[in-house]
Amino acid sequence: MNVNGRVWAELTGTTEGYPLIQRVYVANKRAYVLSYGGSIEEFDKLIDVFDAINYSVEFVH
C-alpha cells in the first residue's frame, strides 16, 4: 500500500482468533512495523485510528 509516497507491505491474518494487520516499511537496512489487532467487535470501529497513525508517520533522515 502507498502511504505518503512510500510503499508499505501489508500483512493480514488472525492470531488466537483475533484479527491482525501488520504494515512494514523497509529503508536504510531497517524495517519499521506498525501492528494493529483486537477483538472482532472493536476491530472495525478503530481501523480508521490505525490508518490515521500510519499516515502520520514521518521519517527523518
pLDDT at 54 over 90: yes
Question: Considering the entire predicted model, what is its pTM?
Answer: 0.82
The pLDDT value recorded for residue 22 is: 97
The pLDDT value recorded for residue 58 is: 85
- Bigger pLDDT: 55 vs 59: 55
The pLDDT value recorded for residue 61 is: 64
For range 24-36, the mean pLDDT: 92
Give the integer Cα–Cα distance in Å for 16 and 26: 27
The pLDDT value recorded for residue 34 is: 95
Give the integer Cα–Cα distance in Å for 17 and 40: 9
50 SS3 class: helix
